[in-house]
A and B are shown apart, each in its own frame.
Chain A
Amino acid sequence: MIELQNLTKRFDTPSGGVEALRNVSLTINQGEIFGVIGRSGAGKSTLIRVINLLERPTEGKVIVAGRDLTALSAAELRAARRDIGMIFQHFNLLSARTVFDNVALPLELRGESRAAIRAKVEPLLELVGLSDKADRYPAQLSGGQKQRVGIARALATDPKVLLCDEATSALDPETTEQILKLIKDIRDRLNLTVVLITHEMAVVKEIADRVAVMEQGQIIEQGETFDVFTRPQHATTRSFVADLIGFDLPPALQKRLSAQPVGNSHLWRILFTGPHADEPVIAELSRNLGLDLNILHGRIDEIQGRPFGVMVVQARGDEAKLIAAKSYLASKQLTVEELEDVIAIDRAAV
């Protein structure tokens, strides 16, 4: 649906050029919710603005629904933009217009008749649950309600793509959840392609089918949300998911770690993913192999409807038992990491 090819965006500043995007290529499929995450200044804001050419890339192509937007004339681009809805962090509603008239704006711009506008706006307000607020002004609404107006407005022209620019960053967690649920609902109902940028990993985890991680104008990692969360490859990604997933031990436990294995005691981090993730593996290990397993830390969660858990255990026993235990875990398609090593790698990466 959206194809970004070798995008580079340079901004000229008095202190020299800044590259907000550096040779970024990305394919976003029809009907998926694609998350882009990065810290501020990573280039994600520029990336989403390039998709509807609010920012024109210095180099590269932007192909939406099979058309290269960078090759269009100004009038053709305006027409193409009506296929791309956009919602914003600060909603960007017109303060002088009522809720109804805000949603009507894109239709007015297209020259629709008053009757056609009414026929379109009313069901949209119904969809976002604001039918009773049609005559209010934005200043009279809460943040979540404002964003619902923004969503209704973005959908008024029946777009194929919805761009969400930090759409929940100004909202409290509860409202964020409601808005994300609404976006997901709409995607399911209208088969929209959704691109959302955020600095909150929780948003990606909640809603995105696939995710790209950005740093310094480049995409450093991308894939299925589940895979990126459970097997982050890059140090930045790892730090993004760390809090949500519980990869890292609590500080008090970390202090007690030793760089060298102590006696027969090993620290293992077991990742519970795949078909056997919900089986009583730990219990079977200690019962069948007579292994002492001390659970130090753990978290169980669900990403994209798939169960996922992390557990850090202290395993004590002779070498043969430990090897048997590891192969048993491998047979259950669970991943085991020796913890000291992992931490050493983390240090090197930082």
Chain B
Amino acid sequence: MSSQLIALLFEGLLETLVMVGVSGGIGALFGIPLGVILILTDRGGILQNLAINRVLGLIINAARSTPFIILMVAIIPFTRLVAGTSIGTAAAIVPLTIAAIPFIARLVETALREVPSGLIEAADAMGATPLQIVVKVLLPEALPGIVAGLTITFVSLIGYSAMAGAVGGGGLGDIGIRYGYQRFLPEVMLAVVLVLIVFVQGVQSAGDRLVRKLSHR
């Protein structure tokens, strides 16, 4: 492997890391509270509000059912507004984040649903406020599930970020498309795929290790 290719791959990997890290991070920042709101406002939740719950659910489902490649193109005006451009790594972060938020929200919702209702009842009986129930009971108890969900999100985002490469988003996917596909360099394509496989493996097993460490069940 030439040093040129290594430098290229390294640069691509860094770009992918930035895209996935930033969009996953911001996605979690919005997605986790959304997941909490979904649980709290659901039927039988401690702040039951079915109107809010239905509307949120609808928006999340709509966002999740839009194929990423279409979402990416559809929100280009918004991307320009936020990133100042619609091409490049910074621009790719915007649709990746938009895709990550509802994804994380649903995974967090599922993780929170696994917390036994008896724990909420016990906290309620101790005189906990709804905020205390969320901070002291729901989130800590669901943390292993949330981390597992975030791991899945990051892996999915790595896949999405490769798609972002197709429209000039940078990163490993971009290298694969431009060098491997458009210039007929199968060895570059292979190298990209291998790096992606190792990357995904790394993220997944790091996530799994963290979940094991956090879980005391």
Contacts and interface: CB of A to CB of B under 8 A. Distances in A.
A139 B116 contact: no
Interface string A38-55: 000000000000001010
B136 to A, nearest CB: 7
B54 to A, nearest CB: 19
Overall SS of chain B's interface: helix
Interface residues of A, number: 27
A109 B118 contact: no
Contact of B125 (A54, A79, A94): A54
Interface in B125-183: 125-129, 132, 136-137, 140-141, 143
Contact residues on B (Cβ < 8 Å of other chain), bracket:
20 to 34
A147 B140 CA distance: 21
Contacts of A79: 127
17 contacts: A79-B127, A81-B127, A82-B126, A82-B127, A86-B122, A88-B121, A92-B119, A94-B119, A94-B137, A97-B140, A105-B123, A105-B136, A106-B126, A109-B123, A109-B132, A110-B127, A157-B126
A96 B125 contact: no
Contacts, number: 63
A95 interface: yes
Nearest to B133: A109
Interface in A124-175: 137-139, 157, 163
B214 interface: yes
Interface in A104-124: 105-106, 108-110
Contacts of A54: 121, 124-125
Contacts of A10: none
B217 A139 contact: yes
Contacts of A109: 123, 126-129, 132, 136
B104 to A, nearest CB: 20
Contacts of B136: 105, 108-109
A88 B127 contact: no
Interface of B: 116, 118-119, 121-129, 132, 136-137, 140-141, 143, 214-217
A84 B126 CA distance: 8
Given A79-B127, A82-B127, A88-B118, A94 B141 contact: yes
B153 to A, nearest CB: 21
Contacts of B122: 86, 88, 92
A96 B132 contact: no
Nearest to B128: A109
Interface string A75-102: 0011111101010101010111100000
Report, nearest first, the 10 A-B pairs whose CB atoms are least far apart: A81-B127, A78-B127, A92-B122, A137-B216, A92-B118, A106-B126, A86-B125, A96-B140, A82-B127, A95-B217
B118 A96 contact: no
Contacts of B126: 81-82, 105-106, 109, 157
B173 to A, nearest CB: 37
A78 B216 contact: no
B158 to A, nearest CB: 29
A78 B140 contact: no
Contact of A139 (B123, B137, B143, B216): B216
A244 B217 CA distance: 38
A109 B217 CA distance: 23
Contact of B141 (A86, A88, A96, A157): A96
Contacts of B215: 95
A217 B217 CA distance: 37
A260 to B, nearest CB: 56
Nearest to A157: B126
Kindly name the residue among A52, A90, A105 whose own CB sees the greatest number of chain B CB atoms within 10 A: A105
